[in-house]
Structure 1
Amino acid sequence: MSGEDTSGRSGDEPEIIESAGADEAARGELARVYAALLARAGETQVELRLDATRRACELLGDIHTAAPVITVTGTNGKTSTARMIDSIVTAHDLRVGRFTSPHLHSVTERISVDGAPVAIETFVRIFDEISAYLEIVDAELAAEGRAPLTYFEALTVLAFAVFADAPVDVVVTEVGMGGQWDSTNVADAEVCVFTRIGLDHQQFLGDTLAEIAGTKAGILDRNVDPSPAPSPVAVIAEQAEEAQTVLDAEVERRGVSALTEERNFRLLDRQRAVDGQLVTVQGLRDVYTDVFVPLHGIHQAHNAAVAIIAAEAFLGDEGKPLDLETLAEGLSRTTSPGRAELVRTGPSVVVDGAHNPDAAHVLADTLAEAFDFDYTVMVLAMLEDKDIHGVLEELHRSADAFVISETMSPRALSAETLAEAAREWVDEDSVILAADLNAALMKAIDLANAAEANSPGIVVTGSLYTVAEARLLLGRGESE
């Protein structure tokens, strides 16, 4: 999660509720539940604790231990990696519950069963069933002079309750922020996955990669007694040296088995393919050759390698490799909306939720590799608490023109401020202001169509708020 405002919404989470096909009554019930969740404190009022979430889970019958867990932390790539793990494990005939954040269009996207957002009716029913227990915990906290359950804590409890009700065979959770005190850490994961760690949320996690890595290593803690997974396996993506040094020390301190990219597994090869890429991965027990990944960019190839190893660590039995055909079938079904996603052609429009410098760097590389635009209009709208110049430093090399606008978030950065920053990186004539995102898209389409280019493209980025609004405006208001 990218940080939440005091209403409960995350900093990169749209406030739109859109559920295609749901009838008016169901949408009304979902709106009621969502409003109740949003009434709780958001992630800008961080509670450094696990006991409140644990207490609610225990009152509900230890729902956080109802199924084995795979937890994914990191800075960028968490959601895509979690979705790939889900797809691989599902293909091996296990029922998977997945909890990720933020969402694009409907809060139900955060809680997935069988690869799809949980039904509105189930979301509402389970929330109503657990509400009294949430109120008990709130009252106990109040008696101790402590804050009630936050939005994300309550949503975590709801997710575990949905998974216990289903029931599922395995839970894949994406850490909201950090790891050590993130509410998802109430569960003791059998496999603890670390995607690449970068600088983000410094106000909560620390100003250095070392500090951030130390907090994220908290997913290795055992918080259930007796633990359902006393000996976890850490699967660690390739890291900057500063972060890797900390993770190595934390793994050793806990006596945890670690599988680290380049030491224990690696991406051997990848080739561009229509609508994705073919990857070859040296796994723990076999080489998995020419596996199709329907996502773009070298970062997604590395995410796929990490997901394959996580699945191997979870599913492996006495040294038996994963079945290549089953693995390929699972990965081929992976989607990751809002991540280098092509949502329109003629001209091409790509949306990507890059909101920090690392993610912007990856986006720039992916555009150069996968889309071959010879004229690029960058539609940019960001939140006020992000590293604006860090993002612009990465994106300006890919842009022939910037169309600057604002998101609908209460924490939106003003278009004037963002445009002023953009002019420090490109010619003033290349920066155009638009009153809202709809106007920005229309202007970008005009620029792309007027360009003397064989392959013009539009890239909408800066925040998942921006992506969500653009997807709706372009008729893609449903997220898998």
Structure 2
Amino acid sequence: MRAPSIIIRIMSESLQKLGQWLDSYLNFEKLPQKDIFWLDTMEFLCAQFNHPEIFAPAFHVAGSKGKGSVSAMISSILDAGGSRTGLYTSPHIIDFAERIGTAHSRLPEKTYADAASELMDGIGKIPAESFPGKRPTTWFELVTLYAMIAFRQAKVDYSVYEVGLGGRLDATNVITPKISVITPIELEHTEFLGDTVEKIAAEKGGIIKRNVPVVVAPQQESVRAVFRTIAKERGSEIRFIDEIVSSVTHRFEGNSMFVKIESPLFRRPLEAKMRLLGEVQAMNAALAAAAVKIALPKTDEAQIEMGLSVASLPGRFEVVDARRLGFPCAILDGAHTVNSERFTMETYRALFGGRKDGTLLFGCAADKDSADIAPLFAGNFSDVFVTRPGTVKKSDIGEMERSFSRAGIPFTADEDFCAMIKAAVSASARKNAPLLVTGSFYLVSEVRKLLGI
């Protein structure tokens, strides 16, 4: 698989050059699977660039699901207090600046260009034989280093880093943060991280640093035990959010969600009207709020509420006005695991009640569990379209068809995702009904590009 091009829509000559330069680097998926992650390369690179990873106090977020949302919420809370916060997250849906920016905007174009020049010039001066193990650096290592350089150029007050894959050997793990944050753990990327949740937890727990506090989302007991052991070994205070937060409640009104969080951490209950929707986002909000309060105890409750209220993240149950297309709204959600899709459907039903006339457009990568995902959609949509999620990820349209057939769901399937997107839009317009797009961030990206949303 080729790493996605980072050339962005508002293109300068420098950024076009950077995109081509980055795309020339070997993608880790072409390397032997047991030899794809090394932290020493990233440590070496940071030293060569005068340690941009230590420029600003950092927050580090790992986990199997929700880490992008939690990262966005933390960044938004920090910005609400008047700070300038760098946010590094992935993947991007359309625009590369979604990976490297602030909670609500891009960095200045000059910052992107200057950071690109610093990165390319600096890498060009390093003899290939001086890299640890004489190994070539990877696309993700270079993009992570680029983010760190860009944040230093932008003179951010804080930085928030979302782990790319795993944690222990992820390129972001060169930072020593003010706090480590771990979202829920589930089976994922088993070929890289291990075939049990306990093994995966050990990799995710690798972001726990010596004498740095860590706050953790609710986990099954065996996973909690893994994190407790790592924290004890490293002298880190560990807190589980369900042990320090007494109550998290939410209710829907229209396309908004009201959340109330109660905890001894806060001087009073927190209340926020959120753009990020769903029960899982209410718990993510509690995790983000607790992380900021533990790391920065003087943070005001009103600042936390404001940050949560304006936090957003493309492609995470994102409700987009589609009236110009002839139907109320499109819900763009990159959920691609069984648990994530379960939360997606719970939120969908909470918003649209007993409506059964919606349209579903689904497409997932070949390594996703479509057999267990498909039944979650049963009885909720009158039109279902199944396709591959764009051209970047390998997919198995036959397996998706078998999954929906076994679930007893009538559907239309075609590998031509452009045709299926148009068919789904036409179906929603004919019924004046909502359209749910889910299964892959890459499918969400294709829908955005084709529909101009």
Q: TM-score, normalised by structure 1?
A: 0.87
State the identity as a percent. 27
CA distance in 2, matches of 1:167, 1:16: 23
Candidates 121, 137, 142, aligned match of 1:132 = 121
Q: Match for 1:54 among 39, 43, 67?
A: 43
1:41 correspondence with 2:11: no
Given candidates 349, 352, 356, the residue that maps to 2:337 is: 356
User: Tell me, what secondary structure is at the counterpart of 1:336?
Assistant: coil
Note the 1:156-171 alignment, pairs <5 A.
156-171=144-159
Is the 8 Å Cα contact of residues 28 and 138 (structure 2) preserved in structure 1?
yes
**Cα distance change, pair 274–50 in 1 and its aligned pair in 2 (3 A):** same
Given that 2:111 and 2:154 are in contact with CA atoms closer than 8 Å, whether structure 1 keeps it comes out as no
Aligned to 1:442: 422
Cα distance in structure 1, aligned partners of 2:39 and 2:189: 19
| 1:105-151 residue CA offsets vs partner (Å, 9 max, x unmatched) | 12222111363223444223212212233245561456x65321100
Partner of 1:8: 3
Give yes or no for the alignment of 1:208 onto 2:196.
yes
The partner residue of 1:70 within 59, 72, 84 is 59
SS for the counterpart of 2:143 is: helix
Quick one: which of 283, 289, 308 aligns to 1:331?
A: 308
1:12 maps to: none
Measured after TM superposition, the shift of residue 414 of structure 1 is: 4.2
Q: Does 1:382 align with 2:364?
A: yes
* Residues 1:311 and 2:287 aligned together: no
Q: For structure 1, which segment, 357-366 or 148-157, has the greater mean C-alpha deviation from structure 2 after superposition?
A: 357-366
Which of 274, 294, 297 is matched with 1:293 structurally? 274
Q: Residue 444 of structure 2 aligns with which residue? A: 467
Aligned length: 443
Q: 2:248 is paired with a residue of what secondary structure?
A: strand
Shift of 1:415: 3.1
1:74-96 Cα shifts (integer Å, max 9, x gaps): 01111111010001011112211
Answer yes or no: is the 8 Å Cα contact 1:270–1:301 preserved in 2.
Answer: yes
Residues 1:117 and 2:106 are matched in the alignment:
yes
Normalised to the residue count of structure 2, the TM-score between the two structures is 0.91
SS of equivalent residue, structure 1 residue 456: coil
2:415 pairs with 1:426? no
Distance of aligned partners of 1:285 and 1:421 in 2 relative to their CA distance in 1, 3 Å threshold: closer
Contact kept, 8 Å, 1:42 with 1:151, in 2: the verdict is: yes
Q: Report the aligned-residue RMSD.
A: 2.2
Q: Is the 8 A contact 2:248 2:260 kept in 1?
A: yes
- What is the CA–CA distance in structure 2 between the aligned matches of 1:97 and 1:200, rounded to whole Å? 27
Shift of 1:31: 2.7
- Provide the rounded CA distance (Å) in 2 between the counterparts of 1:75 and 1:398: 27
Is the 1:404–1:432 Cα contact (8 Å) retained in structure 2?
yes
Shift of 1:405: 1.5
* Structure-2 residue corresponding to 1:182: 170
Does the Cα contact within 8 Å between 1:57 and 1:64 map onto a contact in 2?
Answer: yes
Shift of 1:397: 5.2
Q: Aligned runs of 1:219-238 on 2, under 5 Å?
A: 219-221=207-209, 231-238=211-218
Contact 2:319 2:331 in 1 (8 A): yes
Indicate conservation of the 8 Å contact 2:248/2:286, yes or no.
Answer: no
**Whole-Å Cα distance in 2 between the matches of residues 353 and 339 of structure 1?**
6
Q: Which amino acid aligns with 2:51?
A: D
What are the Cα deviations for residues 378-407 of structure 1, in whole angstroms up to 9, with x where unaligned?
111121222221322433454443201223
Alpha-carbon distance between aligned partners in 2 of 1:467 and 1:387, rounded to the nearest angstrom: 18
1:302 matched to 2:283: yes
